[in-house]
Structures are given as C-alpha cells and as structure tokens.
Chains A and B, each alone.
Chain A
Amino acid sequence: MTIPPLSSEARPGLAPGVRLAFDKARDQWVVLAPERVLVPDETALEILQRCNGTRQLDDIINELASAYSADRSEIEHDVRDLLASLIEKRIVIA
C-alpha cells in the first residue's frame, strides 16, 4: 500500500503516545515514542513544533517560508518529505 500525499488542509499532529520533550541531560530536543527516542535536526524540530493537530499544512509551510525567507516550494518539499516518513512510522498523524 502507498500512502496518499497529504492535502494542504490536513492538520498534522503528534500521534498518540508521542511527545516532544527537551532532554536536559543531553541538551537537545527529543521525540519520545513507544520504544523509540528520535533526535530531530533543526529543520525537523521547527516543523514538529508546529504540528499541533490544529494548524493546517498550508499555514505551517507559509510560516516556515517566511521565518526563513526561503523559497516556498523548497520548504513545501522538505515538510512533505519529513511528514510522509514520520506518518509511516506513526510518529505523526494527519
């Protein structure tokens, strides 16, 4: 089965059982999930912090594009890539 691409109105959020937390001992953000600890890089963290289940994908992309004054289509590509892989791992749901 292939996963269909997200609609731009989708509202991605962390899956149940997944938390974003700051790890004081290692001075970094971590994603805590069942039997898994992931360390997001800077871009992934910026994206994940905006995935709260209420913001629309479109708005998340716009926000990031203006925050980084970057090309919107490039940002969109990065965001969709990351979310697709995290949805497959059930870290994110949309």
Chain B
Amino acid sequence: MSAVRTLSPPLAALLELTHRCPLQCPYCSNPLELERAKGELSTAEWMRVLDEASELGILQVHFSGGEPAVRRDLPDLVAHARKAGLYSNLITSGVTLDQPRLTKLAEAGLDHVQLSMQDVDHQTAAYIANYPGVQGKKLAFARAVREVGLPLTINAVINRHNITRVERMIDLAVSLGAGRVEVAHAQYYGWAIRNRAALMPTLAQVQEATGRVEAARERLRGQIVIDYVLPDYYARQPKACMGGWGRQFLNITPSGEVLPCHAAQTIPGLTFESVRHRPLADIWARSEAFETFRGTDWMPEPCRGCDQREVDWGGCRCQALAITGNAAATDPACALSSAHDALRALADTASSEPPPDFVYRRMSPQDSKAALATTTG
C-alpha cells in the first residue's frame, strides 16, 4: 500500500442521541450495555458534532437512539442540522411524539421520518415491543406525520412471530401514505443475537415471505418503494456491511464515541475515540477502530483473492466475530466461509424448535434507575 491515499468522506452518520427508549424490542441493535442518560452529549456538543459532520462532507444524518424524541432538544438539533446543510431523518418508535411536537420538527426543517413497526397484529406488536397498546400509538403517529406533511418510511422488522403477515405490513404502509417501506429481517447483533432462537424464522418461511415481497413490489410499482433486507443466516453472499468498514458511514453513541458500525463495540481490542476529545474528521481518517478493517489489506483468504472483495468488503466484522470468534474472518454468510454451514445450522436448529421467551431490551436495574432519575429530574 502506498503511503498516501485518498480517503473519501462518509456520506451519512447515525446519531444515537440516547439509549433511553420506552419500548423493549428483543432485536434492538443497541449494545447489551446501554449507556446512561447522564453520560449523553449535551445540546451544544451535538451541535458542534453536526457542524463537524457537515464540514467533513457528511450529507445525511439519522437522528436515532434508543428513542431520539426523549431528548427535549430534538427540534433544536434538527434546526441546527438544517442550518449546517444536512439532510435529516428521524428514526423513531413513534410512541412519544404528539402532533404539536411533530409540527415543531417539521418547522425546524426535518426532511423525513422513519417509523419502526413490530407487526400489523396489535397483540403481537405489543408482545414484541413489551408495550401494551403500542400499535394504536404508532398508527396515530403515522397519520400525524402525514398530516404535518412529512414524508414517511415504515420499517418493518421481520421475525418468526410476524413473518406470515409481511404482505399486510406492506399494505399497511401504503394505506398510511408511506412513500417507502423497508422490510428488513432482524439482523443478529446486539439484543437480537441474545434472542436469536426466539426470532429466527425457518428457511421455508423466509422463501415464502420473499416471494410475497416480490409480488407486492410488482403490484405496487410506482405507489411505494419496497426495500427488502434478506436474512444473512440463509444467504449465500454477505452484505456489504455499512457499505464497507469506514467507507461511507459512521455511528456516534450517546456519549460521543465514534464507531464504524453500531455493533463495533462488541469487537474486543478495538479502541474507539470520542468527539469530546478529537475532531470528527481526525477520528474518521485516523482512529485505530476505523483503520483496522478499512479497505482490503486486513483480509484473510478466501476474501483476499476474491473478485468480490471490493463489492461486499468481506461482509460484516461483527457477524464474523459472533459466529467464528474472530472479527477478521470472512463473514460466515458467505458460502466460501468455512463457518458458512455452521451459521446455517444455527438458523435451522433455532427455527425448528418452539420459540423461547424473549429477553427484553432493558438497562441493568441500577442503570434504569439512573436513567429515570435524569428523565424526571
């Protein structure tokens, strides 16, 4: 490798404003160790991050969490993003925002809202989120989004409890006036890996759902955009996770740590730096966590000699770690990985047995007390 190379700036940043969330989805992508409210970046710190992001060349920011709307300063941050020339997307569970607050966000210049959906069936939705009445609140929220004139994407997370209703979820998105629906099989990091057996559908179910999504796409062409995220455990080729490590995306945790992907903290031995101590542009270009798996130099065989290495970038590091114990291995979703059959066997075994109970996402007892104290205080 030459000493000088050009690095493109990232296109988008996922900003986890907080890990606080009223819901407890068992597939939540947040880490098992949730961050407490008192460590969160302040309003002024987030505003500085938004300025640095824009200067670095980031075009889109996703305000995410936890539930980003539990931060009272959300409208100020959205307005600041707009001022900095950033395209802003709100990724929300929709249960804490009423119409007046939504109107405020729209006036602040919010570009787009992405609402997560657990199911069309109210009972299962409540079971998955561990939140009674969740679906009614989400439906009301989706209508409010359209009433204030904001564009809406519905994000349906598919798992064994709702997979037979995938088509109805798409139709619901159409009837709510969404321009786009993301039908995404649960991705097994964070809480989802803890709940793998409780979430994993069978191969037959996945194939059936895929057929239904394709048919819906044909039927609804021009009415709604359907993005479909296939489940890795039944795949033969890995996804280009995050568009390649340190190539297009970065993720900032509530306390300001900058990660190449939201699950990167599971990888032992990587050190992450905080926007509190170093400019974002420096972290992007030089921090060890970004450099470790950037490009192709780190790759083992079979990736090293494979003609797909700059297409999928070897897949997901966190999945390689979770399955093989080695973050620098080929993603086992790849049929050429020596762990590919083992990955598939995990899915087959998990999905053929009755689902165990969920381990709901929550802070450790001590943490949740601290979070509550800060929220109400």
Residues of A within 8 A of B (CB): 1-3, 15-17, 19, 21, 23-26, 30, 32, 34-35, 37, 87-90
**Number of B residues with CB within 8 Å of any CB on chain A:** 30
Chain A residues within an 8 Å CB radius of B9: 25-26
Assess whether A1 is in contact with B151, with CB atoms less than 8 Å apart: no
Chain A residues within an 8 Å CB radius of B112: 17, 34
Chain A residues within an 8 Å CB radius of B126: none
Could you tell me the distance in whole angstroms from the C-beta of A5 to the nearest C-beta in chain B?
A: 12
30 A-B contacts (beta carbon < 8 Å): A1-B220, A2-B221, A3-B221, A16-B149, A16-B150, A16-B151, A16-B179, A17-B179, A19-B111, A21-B59, A25-B9, A25-B56, A25-B57, A26-B9, A30-B59, A32-B59, A32-B60, A32-B87, A32-B111, A34-B114, A34-B180, A35-B89, A35-B153, A35-B180, A35-B182, A37-B59, A37-B60, A90-B180, A90-B224, A90-B225
CB contacts under 8 Å to A, within B198-237, are 218-225, 227
Chain B residues within an 8 Å CB radius of A19: 87, 111
Q: Does B34 contact A (CB under 8 A)?
A: no
Given contacts A1-B218, A1-B221, A15-B179, A34 and B153 within 8 Å (CB-CB): yes
Residues of B within 8 A of A (CB): 8-9, 11-12, 56-57, 59-60, 85, 87, 89, 111-112, 114, 149-151, 153, 179-180, 182, 218-225, 227
Given contacts A16-B149, A17-B151, A90-B225, A26 and B180 within 8 Å (CB-CB): no
Could you tell me the distance in whole angstroms from the C-beta of A15 to the nearest C-beta in chain B?
A: 7
The secondary-structure label for the interface of chain A is loop
